[in-house]
Every structure is written in C-alpha cells, then in structure tokens.
Amino acid sequence: MSELVTLNLPDQVVRVAATIANRKRQALEEVLVEMLTTTAAETPIESLPDDEVLALSEMMMPKEQSDRLSELLAQQRENQLDGEDRKQLSQLMWFYEKGLLRKSQALREAVERGLREPLAF
C-alpha cells in the first residue's frame, strides 16, 4: 500500500538524489522512495543498547565486498566498466557510504555514552 505525498525538499537532497538516479539510470522519484524507505527502516542509533552501539562503531565492510569495490574502482579509473559493473559499483558505493555514516553515528553515540574515548587526531 502506498500514499501520494507532495513534499518540498531542500535543493541539496534533490541534487544528491538526482545524481544517484542518473548513475543508477532510475527515475528521481524511485530513488527518493528508496532513500526514504531505507532511512525509515533503520533503528535510530540512539535507541540501541550499548553493545550494539559499540558493535556498529567498529563495523567494517565484509572483505569480499571490500575487495570487489576496490576492483571496480580500479576498473573505473581505467574506463573499463560495463553497464552491469557500473550498477554494482553504484550499489557497493552506496552500501559503503551508508555503513560509514552509521559507523560514525555509532561512534559519536558511544563517546557520548562514555563507552569509548573520542578519537585523537
């Protein structure tokens, strides 16, 4: 079941979604729905128990995915990606970026809760 909703979105959100839509060769509306659905399905980090916050703050991309991402990025530098490879690269980059964001949010939450020391630079 779905419902038609009209939204006024910030320009930055539309630009990001349009870039993703162009890269994935999808309609802007499909990308926006996917983004909203994914975000709504995630449990807010602030509501997770300490052990899950710590686990998220130490999360790493699985080795197989990391290796494939590196391989696809190397092929992209050499202009050797076909359509399927581009799609897979886009999906892996999205997964990587999403994971990195969740990891950084969990790290912030862990520091705020006193579960970890802040990172030193």
Q: Rounded CA gap, 118 and 121, in Å?
A: 10
* SS3 track for 86-118: HHHHHHHHHHHHHHHHHHHHHHHHHHHCCCCCC
Alpha-carbon distance of 96 to 107, in angstroms, equals 16
pLDDT 10s digits, 81-109:
998 999 899 889 988 998 999 999 999 99
pLDDT band per the 50, 70, 90 thresholds, residue 1: confident
pTM: 0.66
The pLDDT tens digits for 33-92 are 988 888 777 889 999 999 999 999 999 999 999 999 999 999 999 999 998 999 899 889
